[in-house]
Amino acid sequence: MKTITVASLSGGQGKTTTAYFLARSLAENFRVLAVDADPQASLTFYLQHQVEEDQPTLLEVLRKTVEVEDGIYPTPTENLFLIPADRALNQAQEYLAGSGAGALVLSRRLRDVQSLFDFCIIDAPPQETQICLSAIAAADWLTIPIEATVKGANSLVFTLDAIAKLKDVADYEGEILGILPFRDRWFGYSQSKDCREALAAAKHIAEDIPFFPSVRESEQIKKAMRFGNTLDEDLNYPFAQMVEAIALLQSTVNNQQPSKTVKSLAV
């Protein structure tokens, strides 16, 4: 199982949107586990999961009060499963901070189900918390969504800084798959000046980190997430390019089939 964390250290950067469409797209051909590591639980909502009282979530998985499999639930999308979150996940902060190796906890928990899935997609919170650092440290590959604004360029600075610090303290060896610009505004064939300048600044900050094609600003994306619909070809193109890059990398590092079937979790 290869783990891909979607991280961006500022709100409104397209993080959950990326995790949602990436997980659904990969599930068309692979077994996928989505992990909602954000206490806002937006990914849980968009994957149409309602956390019931006393139902295990990521909080219980992190604390190891349940087996990881007991915190995994099917979604309406075939081959896509979810470890959900709710606001109680904030309680994990103290546990992770006092564990002595908080940044490694999520990675260690996911090892127990790595034979069940081809990919794991983690939606990290937009703050540099212990939960966020643990989500980043669990990743083989990172995707960084950024808004095509000055705020987005600043978010990229914060995110790259957090990754650099994690490499220092936890010997993190994950790779950045690419940066995905969001809310790129165009008027016909002309990109808005603000977006063009913001993305130019972001590319200067990123240096040699690759950029995926921009996700253009559109209300269709919100509607597709809310109602579980697919995107038209143009809007889906950036996500399709990301999936293609991931599948190519996966094909070179993992040609073995999982030893268990995901169907065993659909209960």
Q: Domains of the chain, with CATH numbers?
A: 2-243 (3.40.50.300)
Residues 6+ apart with CB under 8 A from 186: 192, 195, 216
Rounding to the nearest 10 degrees, give the CA dihedral for residues 45, 46, 49, 55: -40
Q: Enter the pTM of the model.
A: 0.91
pLDDT tens over the chain, length 267 residues: 999 999 999 889 999 999 999 999 999 999 999 999 999 999 999 999 999 988 999 999 999 999 999 999 999 999 999 999 999 999 998 888 876 677 889 999 999 999 999 999 999 999 999 999 999 999 999 999 999 999 999 999 999 999 998 888 767 888 999 999 999 999 888 999 999 999 999 999 999 999 999 999 888 998 999 888 889 888 999 999 999 988 788 776 665 444 333 333 432
Distance CA 144, CA 234 (A): 21
CA 213 to chain centroid, in Å, comes to 18
Q: Are 131 and 125 in contact (CB under 8 A)?
A: yes
**Amino acid symbol at 33:** L
Mapped onto helix, strand or coil, the DSSP state of residue 9 is coil
